[in-house]
A and B are shown apart, each in its own frame.
Chain A
């Protein structure tokens, strides 16, 4: 409906500004004219004199139009506001009268909005913004459901011609302190080429480089922009600062690109250190675990497709390497060839590691039959990867379905999953716990001793 038609429609009950002004001014001039005629002036002269006396008819008319329109707008706005206010008051009274209905309506709306927000958040994170900060995320390949040892990772990295680079990473919760404040952050222990493989640059300073993997390289870290802002309130001179990481000093050499927060959907990485530095920094945490041993499977892998290479070629190359490794190290704890398949080698830029997450949930709540296992038990499960293979261990009795490590049980009475989960929880409540223990040593008595020592029982 155009403006004119709308105005015509309005005129049924609302004054028309122009018509009203015209009529009012015409009335005035005609009355004045009549007065002059009565005083003896000729009709034409009377008209001229009336106009002279009136002044500039056109400008007065325009001014009156303007004032009238402005007033109309105000009146209309006031009417709308008044009716909206009345509606709100009426609705509030109705709602106050029917409490049950109100509660149901509010709950329905809240749940609906909440569910929509959640779904949109997931869609946004998984489909619209997969891997923020990562260059060409569709060329990034993640190896899901698979943890490998450091030497195994290096074998994979060497053999994969279809990948222009393969990086390894492992998420660790770490205490960071600058002497004044201490904070637990979600850190990632990564190979030196992590940033170059993901195509992530620094926003300040530099990111980690392959050279930082060399034995004897100084302990350095890169932090996320969000962490730099939060932890160092002043936000200046973050580069070159030395912070304590689990009690050991590391130098911050750079801040990663603003929106980059690693490969994890649910826990954004905020600090990155190299694998070498981590081992040097935290020897006690990994007491008995040998970086060069193949028994300690703890690294996830992510790669970037070489130009013109397809994900099928990359999968085939990784699978071949896995088969070779299985053949070369038959006493290894994993059969890599089983897990390095097209099911697990997926494009990280599309769909992310949703399947990995699903798998985690199933393992924690379904297969294990342990509904009470919390998130902490997941990290404990990672810590409880088997000890390095020494060759004299009993043959494994129990191998889990995904093959990325296993729970082994001591000879003797069967230990149920539920009991193992409970023991794992004991360890998780034990900060800085003795990670050298593997599942075999977490006996019922050991768990009890831990709790007694910490005054929990």
Chain B
């Protein structure tokens, strides 16, 4: 196996959970998420082979993968008219089998599944900002840089997205959310 392929395999294994999770939470659909994640990695493979597009560090690779994945996921939603709201049931079945069982963080699987479902109902821009903030634990500044948006826009999306989620959760998840 060539050195390039060995390095590529290492990067895939290191970042596959991040890339797939991002794609899944933005598209809300398992098959589309895998396709988006694979395409993002293959673009990385081509970039590794192009000396003019050198990725200089692990941080640079992570930033690059997050940006490409988010762009490809939002493109997939628009191109294929994937409606995350409609795909929410599939998401719940695939991602959170074993409802009622508490996970390592003490969260009830049903509650996690319901939060995911509510997330899929958010408008695209808010959903992307919320996923990057709470899944990837990125600051608003980092999100703004990644998406090429003003920080104020990102903060507004985060604030409105969070309030919208909180309001929906208060109605549909009374037993979990105060």
Q: Bound pair: A and B? A: no
Binding site for A on B (CB under 8 A): none
Binding site for B on A (CB under 8 A): none
